Amino acid sequence: MLKWVHTFAATLAGSLLMAGAAQAADIKERSFKLALVVDKGTAQYDGAERFSQLVGQKSGGKMKVKVFGGGTLGGDIPVLSSVQGGTIEFTLTNASLLQGIVKEMAVYDLPFLFSSYQEADAVVDGPVGRKLLELMPAKGLVGLAYWELGFRNMHNSRRPITKLEDLQGLKIRVIQTPIYLDLLNTLGANAVPLPFPELYTALEQKAMDGATNPPITMLVQKFHEVQKYYSVTNHMYNPQLLTFSKKAWDQLSGDERKVLQEAAVEAGLYQRKVSRQKNAAALEELKKHVAVNEVAPAEIARMREKARPVFAKYAKSVGEDLVKEMVAEVDKVRAAGK
């Protein structure tokens, strides 16, 4: 009991100190909107809720972030436009979806680049990741922290993907970026760009055969209800960016910016941890609902070889020096792990 009283007293003192510090700092009453295309239950939503809590705590309750999930404020592309315009302050989106605004962000979509979370972390948390964030303010956006969607795998309603040829002719939904279209078309599928909020209906009505998503997204968005096969390819890793409006950022004090930056990084580390736990658990759960298969390393190697022209094309367009820097970072992590 005495231990509990001491713990409570320490917690209370810490809270009062934090509130007092926030009051002494240059922090005003502010309210922000954070737009997500995914629903509750995803690691992204969990991270957004944690971010909202941290902003409240670090600002002494003065700054509030309201989370809007399930695409209620729109799909990724229109929301990004609204963030640039300042009518929505925050969004969390695949970093690669920013390539229409910052072309170098396409580097994150290079196929079969990462083979582990450690490799991805080394890139986004290192010089390459920071370099890309520095390009955003000139385009009306501020990148606060890298979170993640995770590794994408292929799912569809027609057949399991066990070899390269199985992709032939499948109508696969892809996110709205050129590299996704080129990759799936090069691998033999018929790639169709489609906003995420429209995907479930398209799969249900057979307008699409399948798509590419991590296990937790597959489960939470209930895609397993309208799909039969889930094939583990890990062909792309998607970092996500918690992105803030530059127009709104310019109106904040240094103390307010510090609150948002610190909360974004802290929530991002939490979100990545939850993402990895949830994806591992979701893959096991998916096995109860659909046929799950691991694509053999030899077939992944064939897919990687087939995708080589796509890798080369986009490496050239985003900047070969940037790609070399990223590949060197990945190689360093692989060498350290051997």
CATH code of the domain in which 127 resides: 3.40.190.170
Asked if residue 183 lies in contact with residue 204, where contact means CB atoms within 8 angstroms, the answer is: no
For residue 333, being part of any structural domain is answered with: yes
For residue 183, being part of any structural domain is answered with: yes
* Cβ-based neighbours of 250, under 8 Å, separated by 6 or more: none
pLDDT value of residue 13? 43
pLDDT value of residue 96? 84
Q: Phi, psi at residue 71, to the nearest 5°? A: 70, 20
Domains: count for the chain: 1
For residue 160, being part of any structural domain is answered with: yes
The pTM for the full model equals 0.83
Q: H-helix or E-strand containing 291?
A: strand 291-294
Asked if residue 295 lies in contact with residue 228, where contact means CB atoms within 8 angstroms, the answer is: no
Lookup: tokens for 199: 């995907």
For residue 99, being part of any structural domain is answered with: yes
Beta-carbon count within 10 A of 52 CB: 20
pLDDT value of residue 109? 87
pLDDT value of residue 24? 56
Q: Which amino acid is at 336?
A: A
Give which of 217, 238, 208 is closest to 69, Cα–Cα. Answer: 217
Give which of 117, 111, 115, 120 is closest to 189, Cα–Cα. Answer: 111
For tokens 């990724």, the residue is 76
Lookup: tokens for 294: 């691991």
Lookup: tokens for 103: 């072309």
Asked if residue 154 lies in contact with residue 231, where contact means CB atoms within 8 angstroms, the answer is: yes
* Cβ-based neighbours of 144, under 8 Å, separated by 6 or more: 241, 242, 243, 244, 260, 261, 264, 265
DSSP H helical segments within 231-338, as ranges?
Answer: 246-249, 254-286, 297-306, 308-318, 320-337
Cα distance between residue 137 and residue 267, in whole Å: 22
For residue 303, being part of any structural domain is answered with: yes
110: DSSP letter: -
For residue 277, being part of any structural domain is answered with: yes
Range of the domain at 133: 30-337
Asked if residue 304 lies in contact with residue 183, where contact means CB atoms within 8 angstroms, the answer is: no
- Kindly give the confidence (pLDDT) of every residue in the chain, 338 residues in length, as a single tens digit, with 9 standing for 90 and above: 444 444 434 444 455 445 555 555 799 999 999 999 998 989 999 999 999 999 999 999 999 999 999 999 999 999 999 999 999 999 999 998 898 899 999 899 899 999 899 999 999 999 999 999 999 999 999 999 999 999 999 999 999 999 999 999 999 999 888 889 999 999 999 999 999 999 999 999 999 999 999 999 999 899 999 999 999 999 999 999 999 999 999 999 999 999 999 999 999 999 999 999 999 999 999 999 999 999 999 999 999 999 999 999 999 989 999 999 999 999 999 988 76
The alpha carbon of residue 175 and the mean position of all alpha carbons in its chain are separated, in whole angstroms, by 12
The alpha carbon of residue 336 and the mean position of all alpha carbons in its chain are separated, in whole angstroms, by 26
For residue 74, being part of any structural domain is answered with: yes
For residue 8, being part of any structural domain is answered with: no
